[in-house]
Amino acid sequence: MPGMTTTPDRNRVQLPGISSRAYEHPADRSALVALRKLSGFDTVLKQMSGLISERRLRLMYLASAVRVSETQFRSLYDMGRDAAYTLDLHRIPEIYVQQDPQVQAKAIGFDDPFIVVTTGLLNLMNEEEQRFVIGHETAHILSGHAVYRTMLDILTRLATRVAWIPLGYIGLRAIVAGLEEWYRKSELSSDRGGLLVGQDPDAGKRALMKLAGGAYTHEMNIEAFLEQYNEYDTAGDLRDGFLKVLNLLGTTHPFAVVRVAELDKWQRSGDYDRILGGDYPRREDDAGARVTDEVKAAAESYRASWQQSQDPFIGVLRDVAEGAVNAGERIFNRFSRRDGGQG
């Protein structure tokens, strides 16, 4: 794509040098800080994920999808440029439009990430909602969330191969469950990043609400949807809490009602306004972030959510959540020993 312009289409606040730590959920951030301390970790993942070829996928989309540009899907091209401008990326990620009725968007790749959106998503969402989605995927890229998909793919394939070994399968499933929780928190992180890019809270919440109710926004109401979340959160009894845990197994994205509620909480917390006001961590300080501090922040975040939740089955959820909090630290400790302590 051509070089980045210095003026966005609309008067949005740019966030020079912003670190992804500014918008990442504490459980997501603790794991990422640990991974960033490990020299060569990305190289290990690339070698382990031999079947997931970034070049092959780019060639596939280049041949079968439409690459946005100044002459193709110009509005999406402008959104991608604006998202990179707002989050201060040094390179504008390519965007491809794929003919698919499913509502989907994804960021792919380690070295030169790109974004794919489906025509189903474009048909469902208006321009400002699409801007939130492009911002969401750009935030994935800034955070380096490709590690989640790669690790999950590797471990899920491995789990199926050792399914005949009961203890081995149970152990791997526990790790996969922790990574899925970690991945779900990365989605909440990128929702916040999408809000920072679009800078239109209502559009962001509408985009997520449409994942549940489709294009019928005239039939939906954000406040009523938030009330729906409150009912979901309180649950009826232990049986409902247990069923909620079962419903999460195998999922990598939070449910729509949870995403809208979490985005609303984050906006109302004041962090969104503080970041737009220029009060946020910078990338130049990422090297100084301490794993132990981030793990403590993640634990405190979960503790606060447990105290606020009225779910009677919260103890089980707590065990899964603690596995996600500790995932980054365990990975860090194991690989730092291999790294000779240099991490």
* Packing angle of the helix pair 291-308, 314-338 (nearest 10 deg): 170
3-state SS assignment for residue 72: coil
Residue type, 316: V
Count: domains in the chain: 1
pLDDT score recorded for residue 343: 41
Domain annotation covers residue 254: yes
Q: For residues 199 and 132, give the distance between their C-alpha atoms in angstroms, rounded to a whole number.
A: 8
pLDDT score recorded for residue 42: 59
User: Which residue range(s) make up the domain with 278?
Assistant: 23-51+147-338
Torsion sign across C-alpha atoms 131, 135, 138, 144: negative
Q: For residues 294 and 133, give the distance between their C-alpha atoms in angstroms, rounded to a whole number.
A: 27
Catalogue the long-range contacts made by 158-164 (C-beta closer than 8 Å, 24 or more residues apart).
none
pLDDT score recorded for residue 120: 98
User: Is there a contact between 102 and 120 (Cβ–Cβ < 8 Å)?
Assistant: yes
* Packing angle of the helix pair 256-269, 201-213 (nearest 10 deg): 170
Paired tokens of 287: 């090297």
Torsion sign across C-alpha atoms 41, 44, 46, 49: negative
pTM beyond 0.95, yes or no: no
pLDDT score recorded for residue 11: 79
Q: What is the CA radius of gyration of the chain?
A: 20
pLDDT score recorded for residue 135: 98
Give residue-wise pLDDT tens across range 107-159.
Answer: 988 778 899 999 999 999 999 999 999 999 999 999 888 776 666 666 666 66
Domain annotation covers residue 161: yes
Residue type, 91: R
Q: Which residues pair with 115 in a beta bridge?
A: 95, 107
Residue 138: which of 96, 189, 185, 190 has the closest Cα? 190
Domain annotation covers residue 298: yes
pLDDT score recorded for residue 51: 47
Q: For residues 211 and 191, give the distance between their C-alpha atoms in angstroms, rounded to a whole number.
A: 13
Q: Which residues pair with 96 in a beta bridge?
A: 67, 116
pLDDT score recorded for residue 1: 44
Domain annotation covers residue 252: yes
Nearest 10 degrees: Cα torsion 235, 236, 240, 244 = -10
Q: For residues 42 and 77, give the distance between their C-alpha atoms in angstroms, rounded to a whole number.
A: 29
pLDDT score recorded for residue 26: 81
- The one-character DSSP state at 108 is E
Q: For residues 253 and 212, give the distance between their C-alpha atoms in angstroms, rounded to a whole number.
A: 13
Q: Which residues are CB-contacts of 147 (< 8 A; sequence separation ≥ 6)?
A: 35, 41, 42, 45
Domain annotation covers residue 242: yes
User: Is there a contact between 189 and 28 (Cβ–Cβ < 8 Å)?
Assistant: yes
Backbone angles phi, psi at 107, to 5 degrees: -110, 130
3-state SS assignment for residue 148: helix
Domain annotation covers residue 304: yes
pLDDT score recorded for residue 326: 56
**Burial state string for 268-284 with b = 16 or more CB within 10 A and e = fewer than 16:** eeebbeebeeeebbeee
- The one-character DSSP state at 282 is B
- The one-character DSSP state at 343 is -
pLDDT score recorded for residue 96: 98
Residue 140: which of 160, 122, 120, 113 has the closest Cα? 113
Backbone angles phi, psi at 40, to 5 degrees: 85, 5
Domain annotation covers residue 99: no
| Low-confidence spans in the chain with pLDDT less than 70 | 1-10, 31-52, 148-175, 178, 235-238, 289-343
Domain annotation covers residue 131: no
* Packing angle of the helix pair 256-269, 166-198 (nearest 10 deg): 50
